[in-house]
């Protein structure tokens, strides 16, 4: 699998100097500008010396600033979205608050589609299929998406656990080890519970998968796999929407790769549903 610039930054980020970290965060957040700016423009934008920008390239194991900028440009081009101009009728329509909200959610999903890495979805699906135990963590606003994924995974396999909206019981992870997976959802404002859970998962050797807004978020830096939703600045937008969309893709991937076992489990569940009369139709 080809390593992207964002992968490289995430891997090396803990060992960078404070100045290099500032440059790295700017480059990741502004791929388009970074792919076009000169060294001096980047240095001026971030507020560091030109030497710091150059040294970042070396710290990443690259031979020059030019090589680093080439990787940045490749990342930007892979995520670039086609430009779209609204007609006058559309502009009038989105002045309505509800229409505007729908338009924003469409943009969120379009952004997710353009930045998603299919290989990471497949890796996540495979890890969840092979894991002996799975813990889904989501606190406060992210709990809605965490519980949805917990419910869906319970239909596909056993040994699935989920946090509460405000915390988790550490003893639940007592038997988690190298064959286990902790999937953690974390969006701004990042909760302290997410970091505590991530730390326990890593200490016990479990694989940590993060669903978060960016690779350099507190949880994104710690995870083996980081699935990003993109940063969302809309106050009234549903921040859980991209988490639910990513979760749906993971569930689809598991259906594709483990169809026989999933079908057998769902047949057993249907027998239970029929016996208990849990559903009206």
Contact 190, 141 (CB under 8 A): no
Q: What angle do CA 250, 132, 226 make, to 5 degrees?
A: 40
**pLDDT confidence of 236, banded at 50, 70, 90?**
very low
Residues 220 and 122 in one domain: yes
Contacts of 58 (CB under 8 A, 6+ apart): none
| Tally of domains in the chain | 2
Structural domain range at position 193: 115-272
Contacts of 222-230 spanning 24+ positions with Cβ under 8 A = 222/198, 223/184, 223/198, 225/120, 225/123, 225/124, 225/127, 226/10, 226/120, 227/116, 227/120, 227/121, 227/124, 228/115, 229/108, 229/112, 229/187, 230/108, 230/111, 230/112, 230/115
Instruction: Quick: pLDDT tens for 75-131.
Output: 888 776 554 555 555 555 545 666 767 777 777 777 777 778 889 999 999 999 999
Residues 253 and 125 in one domain: yes
CATH number reported for the structural domain that contains residue 268 in this entry: 3.40.50.10490
Burial grade of 172 (CB within 10 A; 0-12, 13-18, 19 or more): middle
Instruction: Quick: pLDDT tens for 202-230.
Output: 999 999 999 998 888 999 899 999 998 87
Residues 65 and 137 in one domain: no
Residues 192 and 136 in one domain: yes
Residues 225 and 123 in one domain: yes
Instruction: Quick: pLDDT tens for 158-195.
Output: 999 999 998 898 888 899 999 999 999 999 888 899 99
Residues 54 and 165 in one domain: no
Contact 201, 208 (CB under 8 A): yes
Distance between CA atoms of residues 27 and 25, nearest Å: 6
Residues 146 and 248 in one domain: yes
In a domain, 92, yes or no: no
In a domain, 85, yes or no: no
Structure tokens, 132 = 């002996």
Task: Return the CA Rg of the chain.
Answer: 21
CATH number reported for the structural domain that contains residue 40 in this entry: 1.10.10.10
Distance between CA atoms of residues 174 and 205, nearest Å: 12
Q: Find the helix packing angle between 241-257 and 259-276, rounded to 10°.
A: 110
**Predicted pLDDT of residue 34:** 87
200-212 core/surface letters (b: 16 or more CB in 10 A; e: else): bbeeeebbbbbbb
Distance between CA atoms of residues 27 and 60, nearest Å: 13
């Amino acid at each position: 699998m080809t390593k992207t610039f964002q992968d490289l930054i995430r891997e090396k980020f803990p060992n960078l100097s404070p100045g290099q970290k500032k440059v790295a965060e700017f480059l990741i957040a502004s791929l388009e500008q970074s792919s076009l700016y000169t060294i001096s423009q980047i240095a001026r934008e971030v507020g560091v010396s030109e030497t710091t920008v150059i040294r970042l390239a070396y710290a990443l194991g690259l031979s020059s600033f030019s090589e680093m900028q080439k990787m940045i440009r490749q990342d930007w081009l892979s995520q670039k979205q086609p430009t779209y101009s609204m007609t006058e009728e559309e502009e009038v329509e989105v002045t309505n608050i509800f229409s505007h909200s729908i338009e924003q959610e469409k943009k969120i999903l379009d952004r997710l589609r353009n930045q998603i890495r299919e290989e990471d979805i497949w890796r996540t699906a495979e890890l969840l299929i092979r894991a002996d135990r799975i813990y889904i963590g989501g606190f406060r606003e992210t709990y809605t998406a965490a519980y949805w994924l917990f419910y869906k995974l319970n239909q596909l396999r056993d040994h699935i656990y989920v946090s509460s909206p405000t915390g988790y019981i550490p003893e639940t992870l007592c038997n988690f080890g190298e064959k286990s997976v902790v999937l953690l959802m974390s969006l701004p404002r990042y909760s302290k519970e997410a970091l505590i859970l991530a730390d326990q998962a890593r200490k016990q050797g479990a694989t940590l998968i993060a669903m978060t807004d960016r690779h350099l978020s507190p949880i994104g830096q710690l995870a083996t796999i980081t699935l990003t939703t993109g940063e969302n600045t809309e106050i009234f937008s549903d921040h859980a929407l991209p988490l639910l969309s990513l979760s749906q893709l993971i569930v689809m991937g598991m259906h594709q790769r483990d169809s026989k076992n999933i079908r057998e489990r769902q047949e057993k569940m249907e027998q239970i549903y029929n016996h208990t009369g849990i559903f009206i139709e």
